[in-house]
Chain A
Amino acid sequence: EPEVTQTPSHQVTQMGQEVILRCVPISNHLYFYWYRQILGQKVEFLVSFYNNEISEKSEIFDDQFSVERPDGSNFTLKIRSTKLEDSAMYFCASSGQGLASYEQYFGPGTRLTVT
């Protein structure tokens, strides 16, 4: 069964450094998403992406964040200058269509630790 994959599974970085989290969505999906989960807290929506542009973003998704689909398969989340509070699990998701009947499939997550 097709699945969303994410790399790396765990990333440790120093405060102020740039990180890129990578996701490979399911191949025929059109909508892509990033979520984050700070340890012990709820899953929070960051951004949705369709047709090579951001379709919606949350208040969390400020100027230090960016997303890109650099080729036909990868979907990346870049954090320009990491802060301690960016430490979280980051989940990528994809869905086939924008219709309510199509579910989002989640990747296993990347745990980002900022020291």
Chain B
Amino acid sequence: GDSVTQMEGPVTLSEEAFLTINCTYTATGYPSLFWYVQYPGEGLQLLLKATKADDKGSNKGFEATYRKETTSFHLEKGSVQVSDSAVYFCALRNNNNDMRFGAGTRLTVKP
């Protein structure tokens, strides 16, 4: 079945460091890809999305490019802040409109 595999955490970085969280997927057809963020004690918030190959989603300095050839959607940010500390979930939505989530990666940014 359709699935998402993302880099296991936790990830700990210093402020202003470069962030990469790897995500790969397995799906039939042409899924849409998402990154969601969950801040402590809160629900899921959509961070960015890409609906077709080579699309780049971006928001709040984060970006991810839909790579069909490598079935990947890695999340990157050039300079992280303490406020970026959260759990990040990679997800896909398949042609049946069903979402599948990765296991989540906890990011801690230290001042």
Size of interface on B: residues with Cβ below 8 Å to A: 25
Q: How many residues of A contact B (CB 8 A)?
A: 27
Inter-chain CA distance A44–B98, complex, in Å, is 11
Candidates A56, A89, A102; contact of B98 at CB < 8 Å: A56
Interface of A is mostly: strand
Q: B30 contacts which chain A residues (CB < 8 A)?
A: 100
Q: Given contacts A43-B104, A106-B44, A108-B43, is CB(A98)–CB(B97) below 8 Å?
A: yes
CB<8 Å pairs between A and B, sample of 14? A41-B103, A42-B103, A43-B101, A45-B100, A48-B97, A56-B96, A91-B44, A100-B93, A102-B97, A103-B93, A106-B36, A106-B43, A107-B43, A109-B44
Query: What residues of chain A have their CB less than 8 Å away from a CB belonging to chain B?
Result: 31, 33, 35, 41-45, 48, 55-56, 89, 91, 93, 95, 98-109
